[in-house]
Amino acid sequence: MAHCDAQTLSLIAIGEEPSADEALHLVTCDACRREWESLRAVVDVARDVDDDELMPPPAHVWAAISEEIAADAAGADAGNVVPLRAKRGFAPWIAAAAAVGLVLGGVGGALLMRSTPPEIVASVALEPLADYTATGNAALEVVDGTEMLAVDVTGLPATDGYFEVWLLAPDASSMIALGTLGPGETAVLPLPAGVSLADYPVVDISAEPYDGDPAHSTDSVVRGTLPA
């Protein structure tokens, strides 16, 4: 089957049961599985937030929910009940609200829930490699004790694949895949527990093909080293 779209992965990440085809695809496709695992990490962070840290949603969200409930009730009265999974296309804000902004902003959406602004521990400019011209920056942020890597890149080349964010050892002898860049060439990705930037200070973004191989493609687009 085709790769799972962002909305499908978001719904599965927040607990919706995947179809048989989607479950099989997540088992066999490394790219989609890594994206799903990244979204699950965000959901776990969001679920750790205390109720008193949540910001109330704006009035238009509640108005939209009321309209959807009314539309569903009208459909049920007419004997035309459509399951939620079949209605993904017309109401993407439902997934966004449930997943704390996953559809709208990837991992960064979860940070909107927190009242504490991020503490920027270190940052670095990302410089182009080889014949590429993309540039950007990366910053290590700490929000309520959770370390996140915020990445913002502009000028990425056209690709039939996707872009992966890595942490590399200084000599590139070992590396850790953090996740993929989201829409708008940005991402805010949680660091795995126990990972030290003293051991993995190099931020690398690679162009990856959809070949099912989780290893680095060796095609790095931008790179920078976070200060100790």
End-to-end CA distance of the chain: 44
Cα distance between residue 214 and residue 2, in whole Å: 18
Cα distance between residue 175 and residue 208, in whole Å: 15
pLDDT tens-digit profile of 200-224?
A: 999 999 999 998 888 999 999 999 9
Domain at 119-225: CATH code:
2.60.40
The answer, as to whether pTM is greater than 0.85, is: no
- Output the tens digit of pLDDT for each of the chain's 228 residues: 578 777 787 888 787 777 777 777 777 777 777 777 777 777 766 665 554 555 555 555 556 666 666 666 666 555 554 443 443 333 343 344 444 443 334 444 444 444 457 788 899 999 999 889 999 999 999 877 889 999 999 999 998 999 999 999 999 899 999 999 876 688 889 998 888 888 999 999 999 999 888 899 999 999 999 997
- Collect all residues with Cβ–Cβ distance below 8 Å to 134 and sequence separation of at least 6: 126, 128, 153, 154, 155, 156, 157, 205, 221, 222
pLDDT tens-digit profile of 170-183?
A: 998 999 999 998 76
Q: Where exactly does CATH 2.60.40 map onto the chain?
A: 119-225
